[in-house]
Amino acid sequence: MSLINASSPHTLAKNDTGHMMQHVVLATLPGLLTLTLFFGWGSLINCMIAAIVALACECVVLFLRKRPVAFYLNDYSAVVTAILLGLSLPPLSPWWISCIGTAFAILVGKHLYGGLGNNIFNPAMLAYAFLLISFPVQMTSWLPAAGLTQIGFIETFQLIFNNHFDPASIARIDALSGATPLDSVRSELGLSKTLPLIYSTSPFDGIFAGKGWEWVNIGFLLGGLYLIFKGIIHWQIPLALLLTLATWAFLFMGYDSDRYASPIFHLLSGGTMLGAFFIATDPVTAATSAVGRWIYGAFIGLTIYIIRTFGGYPDAVAFAVLLMNLAVPTIDYYTQPRTYGHKEAKFGRGKRER
Amino acid sequence: MTKHRVWHLRGGIYPPENKAQSLQQPIRSMPLPAQLIVPLQQYIGSPAIPCVSIGQYVFKGQLIANSPQAISAPVHAPSSGIITQIGQHPVIHPSPLEQPCITIDLDGKDTWIAHQGSPDYAGQSQDDLLLRIRAAGIIGLGGAGFPTAAKLHTSGQKIKTLIINGAECEPYITTDDILMRERAADIVTGIQVIAHILQPEEIFIGIEDNKTAAITQMEQATLDTGIEVVVIPTQYPSGGERQLIKILTGKEVPADNLIAQSGVIVQNIGTAYSIFEAIVHGKPLISRVTTLSGQALGTPGNVEALIGTPIKHLLHHAGLDAQQVFRIIVGGPMMGFSLISTELPLSKTTNCLIAATRDEMPPPPPEQDCIRCGLCADVCPVTLLPQQLYFFSKSQELDKAEQHNIFDCIECGACAYVCPSHIPLVQYYRHTKGSIEIQNNKENKSGHARRRFENRNARLQQEENDKIAKRQARINTVTVIAPVTNQTLSAENNAMEIARLKTAAATSAKLAVDAKKALIQAERKQAQNLDSLREQVETLQKNAEQARQQLLKAQETETPSEAAAASHSANTATLAAPQTSADKIAAALARNEARKIQQERARAVTSNSTESTLAHPDLTAPNTAEKASSTTEKTQNTRHPSHKDS
């Protein structure tokens, strides 16, 4: 009879980081599916490339850092990062964009900080910002929502892998791609057109917002609700983010509806839902107290609105999230909850003088 | 009866209950072991002191150890036999410790000592009841083992609510459950004894809703007693003392208060039963109901076991499979601790022993990195941020951990239970709490040393000041009184006159000597105003001589008028005193200056000691000669005054 000495608790729930990450991957499927349905096979291929590169990078770094490779690969965090990045990239972005972005996300965004759990910034968004600044043309060439049939799977594949070298491919991509509805609204407003006029042009013939985009956002919304239902993410961040974004959009629309888009348009355009449910909620880089989550989400929503409306970038989720990532330690420090038996929360006070 | 409101407990978890295994059979009694090893410290507080000797025969229930301390409980022989050993023995403890124990070799007859109880508790005074509870060695049987009499002795604090804890939220444990099923009436009598002592306004028995049989029994037993059975949701850790208070009263016990200070007392079901046994039957606490469970046991269940029974004996009679057992846990799986030996005696607080197989409680999976998912914060019953505490613990940011209320953590283990990264959070917190305590102790110690040092300096300074003040006062007395004496010339005052003159003469003589000393010192230190000092010393000496002469003259003359005249002329000498005191101060200053110079020199010498050794030609290696010579120069420069001095 040999007995082991162990610390309490002696039983653990059947719970695992890997399982949580698998649920996240699963929850991206509705969004990925609608993206594919409206914008072709590109996003799917991007996600695949990113996932492969992410796993490869992870293996190499873990090996260099002398960590048990299989043990860490099992947490699926690299796959989640890769898929989130793949979903944010334009469908026909060249293969090397996905590769560079993913490698940047894993190597710089994650492992330079010490690996999973230690990174300050959301790795996928760090890579997205990096790519947007480095390769603005490729990163802003979106396809119109022309359905799955506009380009076949094989052709998409060829375009992604050839477009840097083959003039015909480049010409084809140039002919196909254009700005996203969100981007066009911003640039057309810059030409002092009114919103009703802008909406009358082609990319805006959706039911609520831009064609295709509204359904992609609804897809991510569904996936996000699944994550909340499963208890993988907390509801405060997405709700705060969406509420703030909608409130500001509503206020400005009330001020001048010719120049400021509606809350529905903001909620269902660009990366709003992907950002609200999958990116802002990345637990490692998000605020961790309940009040902190509200503040964190609300400020991301506000920042998204400001950058979208007054800034110079096509979408704002990445920058808003990165900006607030920086504020997380401070937010957490000042939003401690009230502990049992204490009159009030400490809110950063009560540190002992030593 | 209206249903009592139940408040919501924040957080909490719902681990598999695993209670059915040990509820298959009624409470069994165990065959007598050959030997009992009775621990003397099995509760919070000081250990009991043996009052029996080796070789002595003791009866069942006989007092074998007692303690004069308030927070302690006496120990009784759980069965009859001969004391064979009194000394250290390994006991059930989180850190396998040895503690004083009394070993009894049983004679197998189980002969009771004469004992007597009375069902008429209401006719006894509260103090008598408290004394009897204390004498019966009753301690809290829920876990911590706080001496019950001490807990019930509220010293005037009004207790509004008495709560009987029948929540038993830990998985596996069923001692309270089975006691309520089988001995509900006795428990209620025990509760009534407690109520008689405390006179509370309301009495609740909190029972989790998974114990339906126990609830039925207790509801029947409490009919028309004013005791209310409150069914609370099954949720770990509802049985925590502060948690149960929140659930039943909606109030939180302030973090820095004792529970009794908020007018609530919580007692455990098992404790209530042993109070019944002590008061009604006069039986001390010598046995308890313990749950034996786990898949490595053939016949799990609840046993009534004598305190001091080796747990090996208990597990053996419960059909322990020595091949299958992987870990043995005392207490529940959430807060209990593991044992690495079974050669330990059952203590009064051992409410459960789990002999688990490897499949049942596998070794914890390797720890992964925290992803700050926040599940731990969701389940924390005291609303901490376990994820933050973990980071502070890992980085040893003790002040931040303390600021995040780490000492409010009840170590219930809910956070570690849900953690997807399998981080042993409780272990981290225990370690951090320990580190903070160590640091606080260190700080207290160094603070104490610092205060001691400062006090010493202040004392020395004070002594110095006092000396100066005394001297000043003496001088002042002389100068103030002198003019007065001038005006009150009378024969009666003659003796006093002479005494004063004596003082004046002595003072001026002392001043002169002091000044001379200071002068010598100043000369040695080559102070600047040597000439003026010398002059002053001379005047002082002259004054002193004058005063002495006057005194002698006064002593010789016997007529008051002459004395008065003498006194008058003496006055001229003493009148010089203010001036003298000024001189004195100047001399003192000179002395101080000299001391300062000396100290500085001493410091310079110590700081240069390494350099000076280098500078010593005999000790200096040839290749460092150059360096050494330059150092010598430097040293000489810094030591310049001292050279001059010598």
User: What digits encode the pLDDT tens for the residues A5-43?
Assistant: 888 899 998 888 999 999 999 999 999 999 999 888 889
Of A116, A337, A351, the CB nearest to B385: A337
Q: What is the strand order of the sheet B287-293 is part of? A: B28-29, B301-306, B287-293, B352-357, B325-330, B337-339
Number of domains in chain A: 1
Confidence of residue B643 (pLDDT cuts 50, 70, 90): very low
Domain membership flag for residue A82: yes
Q: Does B617 touch chain A (CB under 8 A)?
A: no
Across A118-132, B85-99, B513-527, the highest mean pLDDT is recorded for A118-132
Residue B144, pLDDT above cutoff 70: yes
CB B480 within 8 A of CB B573: no
The better pLDDT of the pair B169, A154 is held by B169
Distance from CA of B58 to the nearest CA of A (A): 35
Give tens-digit pLDDT for A81-116.
Answer: 999 999 999 988 889 999 999 999 999 999 999 988
Domain membership flag for residue A243: no
Task: Mark which of B281, B314, B349 sits at the end of a domain.
Answer: B281
Distance from CA of B206 to the nearest CA of A (A): 20
Q: What is the DSSP letter of B121?
A: G
CB B89 within 8 A of CB B98: yes
Taking an 8 Å cut-off on Cβ atoms, the answer to whether B334 and A8 are in contact is yes
Domain membership flag for residue B346: no
Domain membership flag for residue A189: no
pLDDT value at residue B135: 92
| Whole-number percent of chain A with pLDDT over 90 | 53
Chain B residues in contact with A8 by the CB 8 A cut-off are: 333-337, 411, 413, 416, 426
Residues B549 and B622 in one domain: no
Domain membership flag for residue B36: no
Give tens-digit pLDDT for A119-133.
Answer: 999 999 999 999 999
pLDDT value at residue B408: 92
Q: What is the mean pLDDT of residues A292-299?
A: 96
- Among residues B331, B366, B513, the alpha carbon closest in space to that of A67 is found at B366
Chain B residues in contact with A337 by the CB 8 A cut-off are: 377, 383-385
Which residues share a beta bridge with B98?
B90
| Average pLDDT value over all residues in chain A | 88
Of B342, B388, B408, the CB nearest to A332: B388
CA angle B4, B9, B12 (to 5 degrees): 140
Domain membership flag for residue B360: no
Residues B277 and B240 in one domain: yes
Q: What is the DSSP letter of B454?
A: H
Domain membership flag for residue A39: yes
Give tens-digit pLDDT for B230-282.
Answer: 999 999 999 999 999 999 999 898 888 788 788 899 999 999 999 999 999 99
Q: What is the 3-state secondary structure (H, E, C) of B271-293?
A: HHHHHHHHHHCCCCCCEEEEEEE
Taking an 8 Å cut-off on Cβ atoms, the answer to whether A12 and B419 are in contact is yes
Q: Does B422 touch chain A (CB under 8 A)?
A: yes
Distance from CA of B283 to the nearest CA of A (A): 35
3-state secondary structure of A143: coil
pLDDT value at residue A221: 96
Q: Does B622 touch chain A (CB under 8 A)?
A: no
Q: Which two tokens stand for residue B266?
A: 């919580």
Domain membership flag for residue A21: yes
Q: What is the DSSP letter of B261?
A: G
pLDDT value at residue B336: 92
Residues B592 and B622 in one domain: no
Task: Mark which of B281, B314, B348 sits at the end of a domain.
Answer: B281
| Whole-number percent of chain B with pLDDT over 70 | 82
Domain membership flag for residue B628: yes
In whole angstroms, what is the distance from residue A323 CA to residue A328 CA? 9
Taking an 8 Å cut-off on Cβ atoms, the answer to whether B255 and A339 are in contact is yes
pLDDT value at residue B586: 62
Element (H, E) at B133: helix B126-135
Number of domains in chain B: 4
3-state secondary structure of B228: strand
Q: What is the mean pLDDT of residues B405-415?
A: 92
Taking an 8 Å cut-off on Cβ atoms, the answer to whether B417 and A4 are in contact is no
Rounded to a whole number of angstroms, the distance between the first and last alpha carbons of chain B is 102
Q: Does B584 touch chain A (CB under 8 A)?
A: no
Chain A residues in contact with B258 by the CB 8 A cut-off are: none
Give the range of the structural domain holding residue A142, as residue numbers without chain letter.
16-178
Q: What is the mean pLDDT of residues B61-85?
A: 90
Domain membership flag for residue A51: yes
Helices (H), B281-327: 311-317
Residue B576, pLDDT above cutoff 70: no
**What residue has token string 């000179």?**
B590
Q: What is the mean pLDDT of residues B563-588?
A: 52
Residues B594 and B632 in one domain: no
Domain membership flag for residue B188: yes
Q: What is the mean pLDDT of residues B85-107?
A: 90
Distance from CA of B252 to the nearest CA of A (A): 5
Q: What is the mean pLDDT of residues B330-352?
A: 92
Domain membership flag for residue B471: no
Taking CA–CA distances from A73, the nearest residue in chain B reads: B368
Confidence of residue B193 (pLDDT cuts 50, 70, 90): very high
Domain membership flag for residue A188: no
Taking CA–CA distances from A281, the nearest residue in chain B reads: B373
Q: Which amino acid is at B626?
A: E
pLDDT value at residue B623: 43
pLDDT value at residue B609: 44
Chain A residues in contact with B388 by the CB 8 A cut-off are: 288, 332, 336
Confidence of residue A210 (pLDDT cuts 50, 70, 90): confident
**What residue has token string 């096979």?**
A41
Confidence of residue A257 (pLDDT cuts 50, 70, 90): confident
Which residues share a beta bridge with B232?
B208
Taking an 8 Å cut-off on Cβ atoms, the answer to whether A10 and B381 are in contact is no
3-state secondary structure of B510: helix
Q: Does B216 touch chain A (CB under 8 A)?
A: no
Q: Does B322 touch chain A (CB under 8 A)?
A: yes
Which of B369, B382, B387 is the best residue to mutate to test the A interface, defined by the most A CB atoms within 10 Å of its own CB?
B369
How deeply is B556 buried, as exposed, middle or buried, from its count of CB atoms within 10 A (0-12, 13-18, 19+)? exposed
Q: Which two tokens stand for residue B223?
A: 């009919």
Which of A1, A121, A325 is the best residue to mutate to test the B interface, defined by the most B CB atoms within 10 Å of its own CB?
A1
- Among residues B143, B142, B155, the alpha carbon closest in space to that of B70 is found at B155
CB A277 within 8 A of CB A220: yes
Residue B485, pLDDT above cutoff 60: no
Confidence of residue A299 (pLDDT cuts 50, 70, 90): very high
- Lowest-pLDDT range of A49-63, A268-282, B483-497: B483-497
Give tens-digit pLDDT for B579-638.
Answer: 455 556 666 666 666 666 666 666 655 554 444 333 343 433 344 344 434 444 443 443
Taking CA–CA distances from B18, the nearest residue in chain A reads: A11
- Assign residue B153 the CATH number of its domain: 3.40.50.11540
3-state secondary structure of B35: strand
Which of A10, A15, A333 is the best residue to mutate to test the B interface, defined by the most B CB atoms within 10 Å of its own CB?
A10
Q: Does B100 touch chain A (CB under 8 A)?
A: no
Residue A249, pLDDT above cutoff 60: yes
pLDDT value at residue A186: 78
Of A4, A8, A117, the CB nearest to B371: A117
Chain A residues in contact with B402 by the CB 8 A cut-off are: 352
Domain membership flag for residue A142: yes
Residues B614 and B590 in one domain: no
Residues B493 and B557 in one domain: yes
Distance from CA of A192 to the nearest CA of B (A): 45
Residues B427 and B514 in one domain: no
Taking an 8 Å cut-off on Cβ atoms, the answer to whether A12 and B364 are in contact is yes
Residues B589 and B631 in one domain: no
The better pLDDT of the pair A311, A52 is held by A52
Confidence of residue A240 (pLDDT cuts 50, 70, 90): very high
Domain membership flag for residue B204: yes
In whole angstroms, what is the distance from residue B156 CA to residue B158 CA? 6
Residues B627 and B545 in one domain: no
Taking CA–CA distances from B414, the nearest residue in chain A reads: A9
Residues B539 and B640 in one domain: no
Residues B239 and B173 in one domain: yes
Q: Which amino acid is at B352?
A: C
Task: Mark which of B281, B307, B339 sits at the end of a domain.
Answer: B281
Q: What is the mean pLDDT of residues B481-489?
A: 50
Residue B563, pLDDT above cutoff 60: no
Query: Beta strand pairing status for B49-50 and B81-90?
Result: unpaired
Chain B residues in contact with A283 by the CB 8 A cut-off are: 371-374
Q: What is the mean pLDDT of residues A189-205?
A: 72
Confidence of residue A204 (pLDDT cuts 50, 70, 90): low
CB B82 within 8 A of CB B104: yes
How deeply is A42 buried, as exposed, middle or buried, from its count of CB atoms within 10 A (0-12, 13-18, 19+)? buried
Q: Which two tokens stand for residue A153?
A: 């799977």
Taking an 8 Å cut-off on Cβ atoms, the answer to whether B340 and A5 are in contact is yes
Domain membership flag for residue B453: no
- Lowest-pLDDT range of A187-201, A292-306, B23-37: A187-201
| Whole-number percent of chain A with pLDDT over 70 | 95
The better pLDDT of the pair B387, B480 is held by B387
How deeply is A178 buried, as exposed, middle or buried, from its count of CB atoms within 10 A (0-12, 13-18, 19+)? middle
In whole angstroms, what is the distance from residue A111 CA to residue A120 CA? 11
Give the range of the structural domain holding residue B153, as residue numbers without chain letter.
116-281
Residues B226 and B264 in one domain: yes
